[in-house]
Amino acid sequence: MEIKGSSVEESARLVRTLADSIVALGGWVLSQGINGSGVIIMLFEFERQKCADIYCTLIGAGVELNLNEHAHLTALCQCTNGRQMECGKEIASIELEVQTFPARAARQAPTSQAA
């Protein structure tokens, strides 16, 4: 599953927070990186029975998702909860892309006004 989001958190701190939280939940961070534009790319896996915890971790860390991304994660959680015996131990894989806009930079950015 591919998930895209944004965050006002500092990119290096957000990567550390997410990686530590995913591992603490029993997941595996397969790759992580930050490009020159502040975009975090992270590939991680986890047992599906932990999908609600992973979802909460993303939101709690400051990753903002659009309506479609929330819908995808909600569907994964609902499907897993409804079929816990069949798929709870299956492995889910997420490629997460987060555009970071650190709060200080966001405050310094010029605002445009409509005429």
Q: Where are the domains of the chain?
A: 14-103
Q: pLDDT band at 112, cuts 50/70/90?
A: very low
Q: Is 83 helix (H, G, I), strand (E, B) or coil?
A: coil
CA distance 26 to 50: 8
Please report which residue ranges of 4-113 form alpha helices under DSSP H: 11-24, 51-60, 67-82, 84-87, 103-108
* 14-44 pLDDT tens trace: 999 999 999 999 999 999 999 989 999 999 9
Q: pTM score, two decimals?
A: 0.83
* 38-69 pLDDT tens trace: 999 999 999 999 999 999 999 999 999 999 99
